[in-house]
Structure 1
Amino acid sequence: MTEPAQSTVDADSARLAELGYKQELHRGWSGFSNFAISFSIISILAGCFTTFGQAWMNGGPIAISWGWPIISAFILIIGLCLSELVSAYPTAGGIYWWAATLGKPVHGWFTGWFNLIGLVAVTASVDYGCATFLNLVLANTVDGWAGTFHQAFLLFVGIMVLHALINIFGARIINRLQDVSVWWHVFGAVVIVAILVAVPSKHQSASFVFTETVNANGFFGNNASGLGFWLYVLPLGGLLTQYTITGFDACAHVAEETKGAAVTAAKALWRSIFYSAVGGWILLLAFLFAVQDPDKLTANYGFVGTLLQGALSAGYFKIVIIISTVGQFFCGMSCVTSMSRMTYAFSRDGAVPGWRLWTRLDRNGTPVWAVLAGCVAGMLLTLPALYQKNGAPIAFYAVVSVAVIGLYLAFLIPIVLRLRAGDRFVPGPWSLGRRYKVLGWIAAIEIIVISIYFVLPTVPAGVPFSDGFDWAAVNYAPIAVGSVIVLIGLWWVLSARKWFTGPRRTVEEAAAAVPADTAA
């Protein structure tokens, strides 16, 4: 290691000690690797493929062509607010640590649990999406492979296990794999766009792409106009963008492993959002222009595989699906890394039952048990996907909603606390300056609005007490999120408020553990 690089690592360790923590995780990540993990988790090769149908059925082309850039702009504002916070507090606990420091232990408690649940859900949804596309590849290439939903679930479990093993035994190269993932996403997206431009026999008009509306979820008589459409149906389509561009808090969760984190992690966070937004919009526009049979696409719930099969020959179809599937695999790998670091950091402060186990590091500095616990929790959360109703993966979109709500509620709390702190907040080297006020309020309002929409029923059969109500069609996001809020709220009132004091200062604990005759 060169002297300047060593100097940077020493400065990072010193800053971490000021925040109360001993340097335990291996600080070997570059700024690009920090950017890479968030870019990989955002993954336009994952979200744009797996949740395209949600936007198509709830708004159609305009929910994608116009909805994507508009919502992306709001998400970028959220990212800028978080970038300022990670610059001031570059710790693995990230969002939870910021909330506890800017507020009280209770703020850190709720933020940490929202963040952890969101990370578990986003990991599960990404790996289930990857399994769905791998299932499609196998059904088109392997004789006798039926491509059933039970087979998809088995693939999901296998993928989750692989990601756990990679994170545990590939700890020394995990940052390099993040770098590879970036280039796979960039060049993969370029190849897919080129194929969709060159191969289809016809393309839709700009008028179709930018003005066509679709309401195929059953609400308001499938009327694609009127207040019901604009105020209820169309916002539900925003789940495509809001889900795809999430998980960027990973830049904070690996901050203790990143060199020069106070600057590099802050820049990496907002840049991962910006570049993903631009690349994702180009990719989605390529999808829309390549639509051959809109009615058939709607009949198949907007599944992007139907779109691609109608536009491409069998060979090109397989190429596109394989590129996406590998991209989703990289994305899930990165999600497990981020999830395990958050589990480690939150457990380090005693918030998670069994915290001593989740904070154990192996010789490579990997929280092995935190990796395993998060993966098992993700599998349990996705169990309802074993039951399929009317061909529409209600359970998958519910898990997606849980991920979005959990993560964005976790973002909301420190942003509001930053607003409340005002000039008492001591910024790091990367700051919003006076702009924090207007940007913070915009971010907070956007998060509140989307959190309300994504707990609403997505199909008429999921509306409680209505004719034709079916539990299989229920968006169980509000049940999951509500249960968690009640559980952690009761836990706080009855127990945690008596012993949870927020971030611990492990620097002093480590010093106290050193025998007096060796401390010198």
Structure 2
Amino acid sequence: MDSDALRLQSLGYKQELSRNFNRLTNYGVALSVVSVSSGLSSLFLYGMVTGGPVVMVWAWVFVAILTVCVTLSMAEICSSYPTSGGLYYWSGILVPKGYKPIASWFTGWFNLIGQFAVTAAIDFGLALLVASVVSVGLNLQWSPRPFHIVLINLGIVFTHGLCNSMGPRFLSWLTHVSVWWQLFAPIIVSLALLIGMKTGHQTASFVFTKFENYTDWSSIGYVVLIGLLQAQYCLSGYDAAAHMTEETRKADVAGAWGMIGAVVVSAITGWLFLIAFFFGIHDYEATVNSLTGFPMTQILLDNFSKQLTIFFMCLILVACWFCGLASVTANSRMIYAFSRDHAMPGSRWWHQIHPRLACPLNAVWLSCFIAFILCLPYLGNSTAYSAITSLSTICLYISYILPVVCKTIFPRSFVRGPFHLGRFSKPINIIAIVWVCLITVLFLLPPVHPVTASTMNYASVGIGAVVIFSGLGYVPSARRWFQGPVNNLDLDEKQAEIIVMRF
């Protein structure tokens, strides 16, 4: 038994997954889920109407710095407890025994719902982008209807499920390709735009100081605050590195640095991406109201031929596809781990490892199914996509910060791993906690005035549903039998069956 398996055994779990991933692959999964190409292309329009260039450019720097604080706080804990369960396991292990079940339960459900939502948001955003590129190819003579987008989304989700069903070796190879694609695709597009843009582009003064408000809110401060969502949504999902640790060699180091590397690299490439596209704008109003549906597509069209625009957009499309692939991978590992501890309905199915493929096959397809279902409301309400992005960001960051809160309140429970922050740990943890509390409130606020049924931010409804669902699952039932992370080294099959049957 190698050192990683022994470390996992000391945390209470058998080694069931194959360790085919190295440090680069672990980092690659996290980088792919963060994917600035996906996040920025999906929410570029949102940023343009909620503050415009000055908010998007400088909020990116501000949000990136604070996100690094959150990431460092998580990385320190990940280094101590490298398990696929990640956040919910950390919350359970960092509190006194009496609080272990409730801390694990709520952290786990917020993380799980956040991952479902972010997978849905990534793949649905990609579907919208595919439709935009097809429209450009048809000289803007085709306008996709909601059911077209949903069908494209179904195809994308299916390909992600299929590739995740081909075993860890194939997935590891795809992840290595994704690492370089996520790094170079935005850099190539950005440099091409900066070098090849036509006359009529914007000035540095416009890029770094211009404020735009299409929300009808009169308060500049309010618009700036809700404009932070664009950056924060882009810089999320890096917990994927933690969920892959049971398949990673030297996981107590690789998981921590995978998260940190993904955020830092994404922050740098994302800022370059933003600046390049703002310089490339010709007519701001026309870009906001572009027939392509995506400002980035319109900006490329204004500076390049149709053929080059499609080529550059395809670079972005592939990056977005890799992003969705990695999100399904991470989501399935969370489902596997959470059901291994009997916290999900049907746990007996979701934590099964396919004997030949060596992956949680049932969990993969559950992730895909839920991601597709979450996008169906778009058929009746076009605001559904923005609600999903807000919901994913809030749920993920609540789950990110709960273990940090537990560590801060009960510091004696924490045992340092190879990566630690030393005397800077507590102040960085406090900064992270304050920041997440702030954005949790901000991202529930309505983005447009007046607030109507069609402009309301339905993320508040989604968060309420998560709280009610997880609360109703815990208070009358799970609190009587859910133990938090369960040691499966000496838990026989009959005992496990009894626990599972109670849910």
TM-score interval, smaller chain: over 0.9
Distance 1:302 1:446 in 2: 30
- Alpha-carbon contact 1:68-1:281 (below 8 Å) kept: yes
- Look up the equivalent residue of 1:243 and give its one-letter code: Y
User: Matches of 2:441 and 2:179 in 1, distance apart?
Assistant: 33
- The residue that corresponds to 1:380 in the other structure is 373
Amino acid aligned to 2:328: V
Cα offset for 1:302? 7.0
- Contact kept in structure 1, 2:92 and 2:103, CA below 8 Å: yes
- The alignment covers a number of residue pairs equal to 486
User: Which of 109, 114, 118 does residue 113 from structure 1 map onto?
Assistant: 109
Alignment check: 8 A CA contact 2:378 2:385 kept: yes
User: Do 1:344 and 1:370's aligned partners in 2 also have CA atoms closer than 8 Å?
Assistant: yes
The equivalent of 1:478 in structure 2 is 460
**For residues 510 and 22 of structure 1, do their structure 2 counterparts lie closer, same or farther at Cα, with a shift above 3 Å needed?**
farther
Match runs of 1:346-365 below 5 Å: 346-363=338-355, 364-365=357-358
Q: Deviations over 1:343-368 (max 9, x none)?
A: 00000000000000001111222111
Aligned AA for 1:211?
T
Q: Distance in 2 between matches of 1:172 and 1:302?
A: 36
What is the match of residue 213 of structure 1?
Answer: 211
1:441 matched to 2:430? yes
Say whether residues 1:427 and 2:423 are aligned partners: no
Structure 2 distance, partners of 1:304, 1:96, is 37
- The answer to whether 1:418 aligns with 2:407 is yes
Deviation at 1:398, TM superposition (A): 0.7
Q: Which runs of 4+ in 1 moved over 6 A?
A: none
Residue in structure 1 matched with residue 7 of structure 2 by the alignment: 15
User: Matches of 1:312 and 1:151 in 2, distance apart?
Assistant: 27
Q: Which residue of 2 aligns with 1:466?
A: none
Q: Which residue of structure 2 lines up, in the alignment, with residue 455 of structure 1?
A: 444
- In 2: Cα distance, 1:487 partner to 1:148 partner: 33
Superposed, 1:19-418 pairs within 5 Å as: 19-103=11-95, 104-141=100-137, 146-202=143-199, 203-220=201-218, 228-230=219-221, 232-300=222-290, 303-363=295-355, 364-387=357-380, 393-418=382-407
Deviates more, 1:133-142 or 1:491-500: 133-142
What is the CA-CA distance between 1:488 and the residue it aligns to? Answer: 1.0
- Secondary structure of the corresponding residue to residue 431 of structure 1: coil
Q: Is the 8 A contact 2:407 2:413 kept in 1?
A: no
Q: Any conservation in 1 of the 2:94–2:413 contact (CA below 8 Å)?
A: no
SS in 2 for 1:108: helix
Aligned-residue CA RMSD (Å): 1.7
Partner amino acid for 1:77? C
Query: Matched residues in 2 for 1:62 and 1:53: separation?
Result: 14
- For residues 164-217 of structure 1, give each alpha carbon's deviation from its aligned partner in whole angstroms, at most 9, with x where no partner exists: 111012433101211101111222122201221122213311111111001101
Once residues 377 and 316 of structure 1 are traced to their aligned partners in structure 2, the CA distance between those partners, rounded to angstroms, is 36
Asked if 2 retains the 8 angstrom alpha-carbon contact of 1:50 and 1:304, the reply is: no
Alignment correspondent of 2:499: none
Show structure 1 runs of 5+ residues with no match.
Answer: 1-8, 221-227, 464-468, 514-520
List runs of 5+ in structure 2 lacking aligned partners: 496-503
Residues of 2 paired with 1:352 and 1:261: CA distance?
A: 26
Is the 8 Å Cα contact of residues 137 and 306 (structure 2) preserved in structure 1?
no
Query: Against the structure 1 CA distance between its residues 64 and 302, is the aligned structure 2 distance closer, same or farther, given a 3 Å change threshold?
Result: farther
* Residue identity matched to 2:17: L
Q: Contact 2:117–2:389 at 8 Å: present in 1 too?
A: yes
Deviations 1:434-473 (A, max 9, x none): 2111100110111111111111111124x2xxxxx2x232
How high is the TM-score relative to the length of structure 1?
0.90
Are the counterparts in 2 of residues 54 and 302 from structure 1 also a CA contact under 8 Å?
no
Q: Distance in 2 between matches of 1:323 and 1:302?
A: 15
Match for 1:102: what amino acid?
A: L
Shift of 1:145: 5.3
Q: TM-score, normalised by structure 2?
A: 0.93
Go from structure 1 to structure 2 and tell me whether the alpha carbon gap of 1:209 and 1:142 turns closer, same or farther (over 3 Å shift): closer
Identity, in percent, stands at: 36
